[in-house]
């Protein structure tokens, strides 16, 4: 039986544990002492870190957010501090693989020093595309709640046409929004126009953003800076879904009276069951490759 250590996480991981615990995988879950009534499967063991048989652990799963820059781990259902250290990882077998939602320099350096494989799940096309569906629905939910007009007929500017931007563009267009998408790549511009949407080059957003009623940023770089925000209408809504620190100067937006929302972890908030099953599906595929006897 494969033994996996899950450190922290939110309700997505509750669903994930239910999905993988019946697949010849024994789960040691740390950071779930406040939700034990929901996890009563035989192969899910709720415990403290000191009680985990680290020498037997084949894989470690970290939260979608990974770790902080000091190794601290978010645990929605615990009041205890959980920290991932090199000493902890070195107590696991050399075969142990560390899975995380997203990576950062701390994790990369730790795994390199400990000679362990690191797999950032959200770098994969499949999980990012699956995850774009609840992300788009959650973004639409925020737009509906934060505006006093219908989305149908609203002028929506989407920054970025990656795996998430494409799904958001399709979702808003399908309910009648007037969608413009800003992209860098010429092939993305062509695809946007093929979809019947208006396309602009990202460098031209200063000339377009003044007419947008809703602006959705998917790009994790400083796109909506002071110069660009000067062009934004004060009544416009900005929804920034890019990972920390986002692509918006939120301080300046607040100073200008613009409603700018940094919407992180949307799938875990709006559709945690679906989001958990998405992660579980891809994780099982990877574990099946690492441990063929699971097939």
At 13-28, the pLDDT tens digits run: 998 998 888 778 999 9
Residue 224: HSE in the Cβ half-sphere, 13 Å Cα cutoff: 38
pLDDT digits (tens, 9 = 90+) for 141-180: 999 999 999 999 999 999 999 999 999 999 999 999 999 9
Q: What tokens does 220 get?
A: 């994790």
What CATH number does domain 2-123+272-294 carry, 3.40.50.150, 3.10.20.30, 3.40.50.720, 3.40.50.2300?
3.40.50.720
User: Could you give the C-alpha distances from 127 to 59, 114, 165, in angstroms and in order?
Assistant: 19, 27, 15
Q: What is the pLDDT of residue 200?
A: 97
User: Could you give the C-alpha distances from 280 to 25, 59, 137, 275, 286, in angstroms and in order?
Assistant: 12, 14, 20, 9, 10
Q: What tokens does 275 get?
A: 């989001």
Instruction: For the chain, count helices (H), then strands (E).
Output: 10, 14
In the chain, ranges of CATH 3.40.50.720 domains: 2-123+272-294, 127-264
* 193 touches 201 (CB < 8 A): no
pTM of the model: 0.85
What whole-number distance in Å separates Cα of residue 178 and Cα of residue 197? 8
Q: What is the pLDDT of residue 293?
A: 64
Q: Is 3.30.200.20 the CATH number for 127-264?
A: no
| Blockwise average pLDDT, block size 10, the chain, 295 residues | 94 90 88 76 85 96 93 92 95 96 94 96 92 96 97 98 96 98 97 97 94 96 96 97 93 96 92 93 92 68
Helix (H) or strand (E) holding 18: helix 11-20
Task: Verify cis geometry, omega within 30 degrees of 0, for the bond prior to 245.
Answer: yes
Which residues partner with 260 through β-bridges? 238
Q: What is the pLDDT of residue 129?
A: 94
Q: What is the pLDDT of residue 38?
A: 63
């Amino acid at each position: 039986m494969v033994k996996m250590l899950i450190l922290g996480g939110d309700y997505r991981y509750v669903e994930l544990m239910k999905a993988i615990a019946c697949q010849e995988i024994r789960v040691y879950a740390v950071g779930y002492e406040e939700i034990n009534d929901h996890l009563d499967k035989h192969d899910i063991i709720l415990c403290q870190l000191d009680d985990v048989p680290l020498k037997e652990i084949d894989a470690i799963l970290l939260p979608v957010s990974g770790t902080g820059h000091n190794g601290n781990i978010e645990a929605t259902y615990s009041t205890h501090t959980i920290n991932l250290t090199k000493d902890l990882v070195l107590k696991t077998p050399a075969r142990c693989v560390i899975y995380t939602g997203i990576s950062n320099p701390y994790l990369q350096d730790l795994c390199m020093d400990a000679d362990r494989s690191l797999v950032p799940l959200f770098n994969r096309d499949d999980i990012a595309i699956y995850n774009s569906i609840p992300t788009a629905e959650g973004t639409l939910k925020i737009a509906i709640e934060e505006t006093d007009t219908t989305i149908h007929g609203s002028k929506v500017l989407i920054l970025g046409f990656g795996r998430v931007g494409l799904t958001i563009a399709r979702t808003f267009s399908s309910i009648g929004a007037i969608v413009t998408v800003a992209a860098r790549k010429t092939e993305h511009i062509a695809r946007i126009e093929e979809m019947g949407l208006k396309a602009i080059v990202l460098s031209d957003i200063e000339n377009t953003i003044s007419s947008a009623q809703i602006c959705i940023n998917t790009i994790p770089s400083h796109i909506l800076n002071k110069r660009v925000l000067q062009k934004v209408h004060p009544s416009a809504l900005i929804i920034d879904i890019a990972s920390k620190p986002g692509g918006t100067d939120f301080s300046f937006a607040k100073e200008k009276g613009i409603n700018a929302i940094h919407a992180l972890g949307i799938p875990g908030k709006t559709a945690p069951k679906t989001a958990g099953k998405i992660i579980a599906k891809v994780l099982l595929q990877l574990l099946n490759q690492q441990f063929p006897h699971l097939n």
